[in-house]
Copies of this chain bind each other. A is one copy, B any other.
Amino acid sequence: MSDRDTRHKQSMQKLKAHVDEKVAAATEQRGLLLVFTGNGKGKTTAAWGTVTRALGYGYRVGVIQFIKGQWECGERERLVEDPNLEVAIMGTGFTWETQNREADTAACREVWAEAERMLADPDVYLVVLDEITYMLKFGYLDIDTVRRAIENRPAEQSVIVTGRNAHRELLEMADTVTEMQEVRHAFNAGVQARRGIDY
């Protein structure tokens, strides 16, 4: 075996020991609260990736979209025929399009009722609260209501929260938090959002 190969083997053995140790230390089993926040691309996309994953195992999944895009949405089309997936979408467009706080608050509360139902249902393995952070920021929902519903959910249920500027209390409650930071975005260089990639 060459020197380089030997060094590689030793370095990989160290890495393996480290990985094995961490796996052995992780013994708790329960539903998780994950937060995907930050200003970068990938928050909602990672949530949909997880939805696809959970559906792949045959689990029931509920998705609440608190900001309905004006665009179509490829992943919804792809998955919507799955009987284990339930999607509820807030009945207005972007809040900066409607510019009507009262109507938006009412629409938000209506779809939140669906979220509460899913968060209380032990048969739902994963609930995605997509872009809910904006609802808290704009005051359409209050953090106590949201925190309580998440805290009291069934022990085996996981929840994903997405959106910029996640509320401090959500970050503190979360098991896993990823901050998706924008290093560069094509859009800012004048490149159009791309069908099937960006939306």
Contact = CB atoms under 8 A, between A and B. Distances in A.
Interface string A1-38: 00011001100110110010010011111111010101
Nearest to A42: B46
Contacts of A75: 49, 52-53, 56
B26 A53 contact: no
Given A31-B194, A56-B77, A189-B175, A12 B42 contact: no
A155 interface: no
Contacts of A97: 16
A171 to B, nearest CB: 7
Interface residues of A, number: 86
Contact of A9 (B36, B40, B101, B190): B101
A181 B178 contact: yes
Contacts of A30: 191
A110 B188 CA distance: 37
The 8 tightest CB contacts between A and B, nearest first, are A56-B74, A56-B78, A49-B49, A175-B186, A45-B49, A53-B74, A177-B183, A40-B178
